[in-house]
């Protein structure tokens, strides 16, 4: 299993899955639920500057998720999204126990851990970062 092709394939799958999840959440905040409802939820949760936070969160999830999928600026984006998930865990999930079924911090914990794997191991060769670094 300690072969570069296996590692690159695993990183590609991890990046793609994480990226799609973030794009879906950003899309939901912008277009399905909408920024007005998202702002209301952020306000109810006690998130500072809820309107600005909702806009920045939705943008970071949508754009950051897309960048993860293609593997561009990957370690920076993964680090920034990990910080975003840390803020989500603090403001939204921490007081609700562990399990996601009760709104607990299980989901952000898994997301932070997966994003840290990308920060530590990089995007892999099957990414735009990998292609640009070889060019």
Per-residue pLDDT tens over the stretch 43-83 = 999 999 999 999 999 999 999 999 999 999 999 999 999 99
Q: Given this model, what pLDDT does residue 15 score? A: 98
**């996601």: which residue's tokens?**
100
Residue pair 87/54 in contact (Cβ under 8 Å)? The answer is: no
Q: Given this model, what pLDDT does residue 25 score? A: 97
What is the rounded distance in angstroms from the CA atom of residue 77 to the CA atom of residue 90?
20
pLDDT tens track for 4-21: 999 999 999 999 999 999
Around 71, how many Cα atoms within 13 Å sit in the side-chain half-sphere? 22
How is the chain split into domains, by residue range?
4-122
Tell me the percentage of the chain whose pLDDT exceeds 90.
Answer: 90
Give the global pTM: 0.94
Residue 39, C-beta contacts closer than 8 angstroms, at least 6 positions apart? 50, 51, 54
Over range 9-36, report the average pLDDT: 97
**Terminal-residue alpha carbon distance, the chain:** 27
Q: What average pLDDT is seen over the chain?
A: 95
Confidence of residue 134 (pLDDT cuts 50, 70, 90): confident
pLDDT tens track for 103-129: 899 999 999 999 999 999 999 999 999
């Amino acid at each position: 299993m300690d072969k570069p092709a296996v590692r690159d394939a695993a990183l590609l799958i991890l990046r793609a899955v994480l990226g799609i999840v973030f794009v879906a959440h950003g899309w939901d905040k912008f277009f399905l639920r909408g920024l007005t409802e998202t702002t209301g939820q952020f306000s109810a949760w006690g998130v500072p500057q809820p309107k600005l936070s909702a806009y920045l969160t939705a943008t970071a999830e949508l754009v950051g998720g897309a960048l993860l999928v293609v593997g561009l600026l990957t370690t920076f984006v993964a680090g920034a999204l990990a910080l975003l998930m840390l803020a989500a865990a603090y403001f939204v999930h921490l007081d609700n126990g562990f399990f996601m079924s009760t709104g607990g911090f299980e989901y952000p914990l898994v997301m932070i851990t997966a994003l840290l794997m990308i920060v530590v191991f990089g995007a892999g060769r099957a990414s735009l970062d990998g292609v640009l670094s070889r060019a």
